[in-house]
Amino acid sequence: MEEQKKVTFGDILKAMKQLPGTIDILSSVDKKLFSFLVFFSLLSGVLPVVSILITQGLINSIVDVANRSMQRTLILVGAFIGYNVLSYLLSEVTSYVTSIYQYKLQYGLQHRMMSECSKMELKNFEQAHTYDKVEKLTTEIGYKPYQMFMAVISIFTSTMSLVSVLTILVMWKPFAALGMLIIPVLAVLYYLRIGQKEFDIMWNRASGERKLWYYNHLMTHDFSFKEMKVLNISDYILEKFKEASDGFVVQNKTILNQKTFFNVLYGIAIYLLSGIVIGLSVVDAYLGHILVGNVMSIIRSVSMVQSESRGIMTGLYIIYSCSLYMQMLEDFLKENHKEQSEVTPIDDTIQEISMNHVSYSYDGEHNALEDINLKFKKGKRIAIVGPNGSGKSTLLKLMVGLYRPEKGDIKINGVKSTALDTASYYQRISVLFQDFVKYELSLKENVGFGDIRNMDSEEQIRESLKKVGTPFLEGEDGNANLQMQLGNWFENGRELSQGQWQKVALSRIYMKDADCYMLDEPNAALDTLSEKDAFDRFFRLSEDKMGIYISHRLCAAKKADEIVVMQQGHVVDVGTHDQLIERCKVYQDMYEAENYAEAG
């Protein structure tokens, strides 16, 4: 068995020091509800002691013949009834408010996570450890923060109750109160060690859990069904799932064994001590030192010390284990809040995009692009070609601003991209990525997202569809139903072919009257006729604008005003089709290979 990390009071204090940041996150959802629940938790901690004292007085008023008073007894009966009614109402109101707060907390933090993810840089999102962190945080955000909140509330309530009942025991025998505290205090450190180990296990297996999710995703969705069926790999995937999940079961069982062993030892010890304290109270009553009502109060107090100390211990366990998660959540929510230096908005049409000695590396060691020098001007259509892995898509992402160059600079209208207002830049460009998104939403949203400011303009959306030509979406009246659900994830959805999805994506980029259109392999899923039609429309729509496109087919590049040829992260030549056929070996080889393939 793996050696457990020792947990000290210093570790507990460190976890407690993180509470202000955690409470700030928890209360940010709804400060009024949060404050209400904290107040009612403190009140709930005092009420049980009131019940003990009322019950004690009621029993003593009956058995104490010498001081018996009907009026006093009836008052105590009324107080007992009033307490129960008040306690019930408080419980119902608290339960109602807690449920409302839980919903707000869950969806509010999910919204914040989504918002923070939208601020991340693409390079970070493409790193496995970042993806694992995001996956872990989003997977547990539905219950971990609420679990933490309930633990804080539980500690407030249990502490108030514990202090109150210990006061009753102290007034009887101070050493009895001290004795009832010893075992919980000693037990809490070991209990928190289990919490540390459990968190470490859960956090470190984030990557493995993502694999489990992926195996499940493969087995339960249509995109992989055909290939898995034909290749007969279902049993292999099932075995990989079982192998990984069995390992998780073993880990969970180890933690469960330790918890159970601890619970048994703790339970035996605390019940033996409780029995001794109760026995002493019975002896005192037998000797006439205290009344029967006091014995009942001591018995209930001992019982509450057991339950409330266990509640505090469990709360500390949850806070300690959750504080590690909450600290990572707090750090994640803060890490994208960097103060931006003064930026320059783009007020005029984009006239030029230039790249000066630009280099870029994914891993910090090997350059995906090296010493790129290019200029793209308004009114020009530029094709970017080259073998697979030559850096074409990386070049486009740098121009879009999704990556930042390691060396050199990119300028838009003479302004460095790092000093540019990104929002104003994005309003003036329209981009189709090779791995474009198939939004499982309505047709209106699929196209309207291209210009979110005019998304409610059905006329503009229909015009965008006409620019591309989407007869497969049109009804008998010649118009497309913009409320049509696309894809098959949701009810009444209409699935499209890859080529049809690509046309919808092209409609999306033409939704915006952009200064510059950038397309990465817009013909990847199109047949020959659709490809010709798509490029004819692109050249027509990008007239007097800047048009940049990546193509794996040179026949689509021929019409460009300039063709950029890339190989292994370098620009090897720039020119027209005729110029490159004459002088560029890479272009010549690509052209010959394409003609050979077409002839074949």
pLDDT band at 341 (very low <50, low <70, confident <90, very high): low
The tens digit of pLDDT for each residue in 69-111 reads 788 888 888 988 998 898 899 889 989 998 998 888 888 888 8
More confidently predicted of 9 and 133: 133
Q: Label residue 584 by pLDDT band (50, 70, 90).
A: very high
pLDDT over 70 (residue 27)? yes
Q: Which pLDDT does position 2 carry in this prediction?
A: 42
CA angle 109, 114, 118 (to 5 degrees): 145
Q: Could you give the residue ranges of the DSSP H alpha helices within 440-541?
A: 443-448, 458-468, 498-510, 528-541
Percent of the chain residues past pLDDT 90, beyond the cut: 27
Whole-angstrom Cα distance, residue 451 to residue 455? 6
Mean pLDDT of the chain: 85
Domains of the chain, first to last = 9-333 (1.20.1560.10), 436-513 (no CATH)
Stretch 217-243: mean pLDDT: 82
pLDDT at 202 over 50: yes
Quick check: helix, strand or coil at residue 429? strand
* Lowest-confidence region among 217-221, 379-383, 510-514, 539-543: 217-221
In the prediction, which pLDDT does 12 show? 60
Asked whether the predicted pLDDT for residue 311 surpasses 80, the reply is yes
Supply the pLDDT for residue 370. 93
pLDDT of residue 16: 66
What's the start-to-end Cα distance of the chain, in Å? Answer: 64
Q: How far apart are CA 395 and CA 359, in angstroms?
A: 10
What mean pLDDT is predicted for residues 439-465?
92
pLDDT band, very low/low/confident/very high, at 577 (cuts 50, 70, 90): very high
For residue 575, list its beta bridge partners. Answer: 563
* pLDDT value at 378 more than 50: yes
Burial of 441-458, coded b for 16+ CB within 10 Å and e otherwise, reads bbbbbbbbbbbeeebeee
In this prediction, residue 393 carries a pLDDT of: 92
Mean of the pLDDT values across residues 501-511?
92
The better pLDDT of the pair 146, 342 is held by 146
Question: Confidence class of residue 6 from pLDDT cuts 50, 70 and 90?
Answer: low
pLDDT band at 598, cuts 50/70/90? low
**Amino acid found at 538:** F
Mean pLDDT value of segment 55-69:
79
Q: Kindly tell me if the per-residue pLDDT of 375 is higher than 90.
A: yes
Average pLDDT over residues 319-324: 75
Q: What is the mean pLDDT of residues 321-344?
A: 73
Is residue 536 predicted with pLDDT exceeding 60? yes
pLDDT of residue 459: 93
Task: Specify the DSSP element, H or E, that contains 563.
Answer: strand 562-567
Task: Indicate whether 450 pLDDT > 60.
Answer: yes
CB 565 within 8 A of CB 386: yes
Distance CA 328, CA 200 (A): 13
pLDDT score of 169 more than 60: yes
Name the least confident of 20-24, 120-124, 474-478. 120-124
Which one has a higher pLDDT value, 510 or 221?
Answer: 510
Overall average pLDDT of the 7-32 stretch? 73
Residue 454 clears pLDDT 80, i.e. is over it: yes
Return the number of other C-beta atoms located less than 10 Å from residue 508's C-beta. 26
Q: What angle do CA 424, 425, 431 make, to 5 degrees?
A: 130
Does the pLDDT value for residue 377 go beyond 80? yes
Quick one: pLDDT band at residue 262, thresholds 50, 70, 90? confident
Give yes or no for residue 337 having a pLDDT over 70: no
At residue 549, does pLDDT exceed 70? yes
Alpha-carbon span 158 to 46, nearest angstrom? 9
- 10 — pLDDT class (breaks 50, 70, 90): low
CA 208 to CA 243: how far, in whole Å?
11
Tokens matching residue 131: 């993806």
Beta carbons of 348 and 515 less than 8 angstroms apart: no
